[in-house]
Structure 1
Amino acid sequence: MASGSQPQPSTPTPSGADDKGFQSWRRRFSLITGLGLSETDKAARTTEAQCKQCEKWKYDLLHYSPAVVFMFQQLRHIGSKVTPDHLVCTPCGELQAGGFLPTSGAIVLCQGKFIHKKHMESTIVHELVHLYDQSKFKVDWDNLRHHACSEIRANSLSGDCRWSREFFDRLQPNFSKQHQVCVRRRAIQSVAANPRCPDVAAAERAVNEVWESCLNDTRPFDEFPPM
C-alpha cells in the first residue's frame, strides 16, 4: 500500500443463508423494475400484468356496467346459460380486441389490446349481441346475410360507433351520419373476413341487403342505447 493512502472498505459477499436472501431480494427487485430480466422474463411479466388488468376491468364491468349487466340478464331470459367464465382474457395475435366463438359460446378478450375500460365495455357488449343473436335467432355464420345482420346490430348497439370512439381512438371523424358510416364500415370489414366471403364486394352486398331491417332492430334494448 502506498504511503499515506487509506484502506478502502471491501464490499461484503453474501454467502450461505445470506446469499439465498440476497438472490431472492434481487429477483424481486428485477420483477418490480424490469432491470436484469431476460427478454423471456420481460415478456412473461408483461403478459401477467396485462392479464391482471384485463381480469380487473372484466370484473368491474360485469358488476357495474349497466349495458353488460343488462345483456347478461337478457341472455338468461331467453335461456342462454352464459356465465362470467364465458369471457376469457387471453393474449391475441390478431389486431382485434375481442371475438366470439360460435361453437363454444366463448367470448375472447384480447388482453393488452384495450385502450381504456370503456373500450373493453363496448367490446364485451358487441360480442354479447352476437351471442344473443345466435341464442335467439339461430344465426348461421356461414350465411353472409346472417353474419352481416349480426355485425350491423353489434356495432350499432354496443357503443363501438359512438362519436368519441371514432374521433379519438380511431381518428375517423365523420360529422354527417357518423353512426351509420361507422356501423357500415365495420360490418363490411367483419363480413369480408368470413372464410365464406369471396371478396369485399360480396361483403358490401350482404350488408346492403339487410341494412335497413337490421340497423333498426334494437333487441334486446327497447331503443338505441345512449352513446
Structure 2
Amino acid sequence: MEGAGHGRGAGPSPMAGEQRQPQRQPGSCQVCPEQPADGPQQGLFSSLQTGNQSCQLMLLKTLETNPYVKLLLDAMKHSGCAINKERHFSCEDCNGNVSGGFDASSSQIVLCQNNIRNQAHMNRVVTHELIHAFDHCRAHVNWFTSVRHLACSEVRAANLSGDCSLVNEIFRLHFGLKRHHQTCVRDRAILSILAVRNISREMAEKAVDEVFESCFNDHEPFGRIPHSQTYARYAHRDFQNRDRYYSNI
C-alpha cells in the first residue's frame, strides 16, 4: 500500500456498488455483476437460515480449496495477522448489490449472503477482501481519510483477485481493448471508491491515476499477476518456497 508503514490487523472492506448496512463503515464496495434471477420466494426465517448455511458452506470450500485464498491466508499468517474463520468472517444480508466488505474497525470480512450466488463469485469476493485485509495488516492504511490509500488498495484488489479476468470481462461484454487488463483494473477501482466515498468521479479518477503505476506493479504477496487459478497455484508454491528459503538464512 502506497505511503504507509507496517502495521498489525486484519479485517474486511467491499468492492464496487452501493453502501452496505448503515452500521458498518467498509473501506470499499463491490457489485455482483452476475446474479441469476431469484427462485421461488421462501419464508423470511427459512430464507435467512438457508442463505447463511449456503454462505458458510461456500466460504469453507473457498478457504480450503481456492489457491488465491490459500496464498493470502499464508501471507497473512506470515505477517502476524492469522485469519480465523469464525472470528474474521461474517455472513450477513446486505443492502443493494454489494457482494462483501472489509470492516477495518471490527477486523471482519463481511460476505453478503443474499448477493453471493455461486462458488466462483464467493471465491472472488473472499480473495478481493483478503487483499484489503493483507494491505491493512502490512501498512498503516488510512481507509477513511486518504482517498489515495483507498485507491491503491482497490487497484491492487482489482488487479490481483481475478476480478478482471478475461472470462469475467467477456461476461460483462467488455473485451477487445488495447491494454484491456489495465483498463479494467482502473475502472473497477474507480467504481469501488465511488461506492463508499461521497466524492466526484473526477476526484476518484484523479486518486486512482496518481497511484496507479506503483500500486498496479505491487503484486505482493503473489509476486505476479495471477491471471488464473493455475497462476495462483504457481504463486502459492513460490511463496511457500520463498518462506522456506528465508527461514533457513
State the TM-score, normalized to the length of structure 2.
Answer: 0.71
Q: Which moved more, 1:199-208 or 1:62-71?
A: 62-71
Q: CA deviation at 1:147?
A: 0.5
Paired residues of 1:125 and 1:158 also in contact (CA < 8 A) = yes
Distance 2:118 2:173 in 1: 18
Structure with the larger RCO, 1 or 2 (CA within 8 Å, 6+ apart): 2
Structure 2: which 5+ runs fail to align? 1-39, 229-249
Percent of pairs with identical residues: 35
* Moved beyond 3 Å, runs of 4+: none
Distance 1:217 1:115 in 2: 31
Q: How does 1:1-227 map to 2 (within 5 A)?
A: 42-85=43-86, 86-141=88-143, 142-168=145-171, 171-176=172-177, 177-195=179-197, 197-227=198-228
Paired residues of 1:192 and 1:202 also in contact (CA < 8 A) = no
Q: CA deviation at 1:79?
A: 0.8
Q: CA deviation at 1:87?
A: 1.3
Look up the SS of the partner of 1:193 in the other structure.
helix
Paired residues of 1:87 and 1:107 also in contact (CA < 8 A) = yes
Q: Which moved more, 1:54-63 or 1:112-121?
A: 112-121
Paired residues of 2:73 and 2:82 also in contact (CA < 8 A) = no
Distance 1:139 1:80 in 2: 15
Report which of the two has the higher share of helix: 1
Distance 1:80 1:94 in 2: 31
Q: CA deviation at 1:166?
A: 2.2
> 1:107-155: per-residue Cα shift (whole Å, max 9, x none)?
0110131242111111101000101111102111120111000000001
Distance 1:187 1:98 in 2: 15
Q: CA deviation at 1:99?
A: 0.5
Distance 2:164 2:154 in 1: 12
Structure 1: which 5+ runs fail to align? 1-33
> 1:60-107: per-residue Cα shift (whole Å, max 9, x none)?
111111111111110010111321121111111131111100112200
Larger Rg: 1
Q: CA deviation at 1:212?
A: 0.7
- Cα 1:115–1:165 change in 2 (3 A) is farther
